[in-house]
Amino acid sequence: MTDYPHPIIAREGWGHVAVSVAAALAVGFLAGWWWSAPLWIAAIFVVQFFRDPPRAVPGTGRTVVSPADGRIVAVEKAEDPYLRRDARKVSVFMNVFNVHANRSPVDGEVKDRWYSPGAFVNAALDKASLHNERNALWLRTTDGADVTCVQIAGLIARRILCYVKPGDLLRRGERFGFIRFGSRVDVYLPLSATVSVELGQTVRCGATVLAEL
């Protein structure tokens, strides 16, 4: 993986922003600017959805940062369905107004990746973790800790993007994917991890510390 430049708008949104602004301009020139007002509102929504600001990444090699912007909807002991182990699960729900770029929660190597097609139920519900379309990464830190990071599609999300493969090395806070529209990211941590967030807390991708390993 190479560093992703931060031009404010995520690369996944360049085409959408261009089309929405072009449509608003065309209607404005052809029919009048009042008629184009709804299209300008839509263009502003598209721009805010695809924004991708740079983030200062805190901590050390044992720090786990949030892989997504949003709200904490689960902090619990659960079975990691990918590594078949007991784990501490932390889940972040993203609504349509959050930044939707995803960043690595830890420094480590991608050991494996699993994609599962599925449904599109409300990502705020716990059953979304097992029933929705999802993409999971198994990350092993430089200290040998295993962390599973799962991108989960939401009620209106229709595409999960992941740009890494087994063998790739990631730094915590490094961009690895994107989910279009409301969605969720689950992180499964070793039971020995000390979680530092709580239910309902608002977190920022790559900037909020979730736990220490």
pLDDT tens digit sequence for 7-53: 677 777 787 788 888 888 888 888 878 888 888 888 888 887 788 88
Angle subtended at Cα 146 by Cα 143 and Cα 151, rounded to the nearest 5 degrees? 130
pLDDT, residue 189, reads: 97
pLDDT, residue 26, reads: 87
Contact partners, residue 135, CB within 8 Å, separation at least 6: 113, 114, 115, 116, 150, 151, 160, 162, 177
Angle subtended at Cα 2 by Cα 139 and Cα 108, rounded to the nearest 5 degrees? 20
Give the model confidence (pLDDT) of 143-162 as tens digits. Answer: 999 999 999 886 655 578 89
Query: Which of these is catalytic: 104, 183, 192, 196?
Result: 183
Cα–Cα separations (whole angstroms), residue 161 to 35, 134, 164, 201:
35, 10, 10, 26
Give exposure, 16-39, as e/b (b: 16+ Cβ within 10 Å): bbeebbeebeebbeeeeeeebeeb
Cβ 113 vs Cβ 207: under 8 Å: no
Please state, as a whole number, how many other Cβ atoms lie within 10 Å of the Cβ of residue 154: 25
Give the model confidence (pLDDT) of 98-151 as tens digits. Answer: 888 899 999 999 999 998 876 555 545 555 456 678 899 999 998 999 999 999
pLDDT, residue 155, reads: 63
Please state, as a whole number, how many other Cβ atoms lie within 10 Å of the Cβ of residue 3: 8
Segment holding 106, helix H or strand E: none
pLDDT, residue 167, reads: 95
**Catalytic residue status for 66:** no
Total residues found in the chain within this entry = 213
pLDDT, residue 4, reads: 57
| Residue 2, pLDDT above cutoff 80 | no
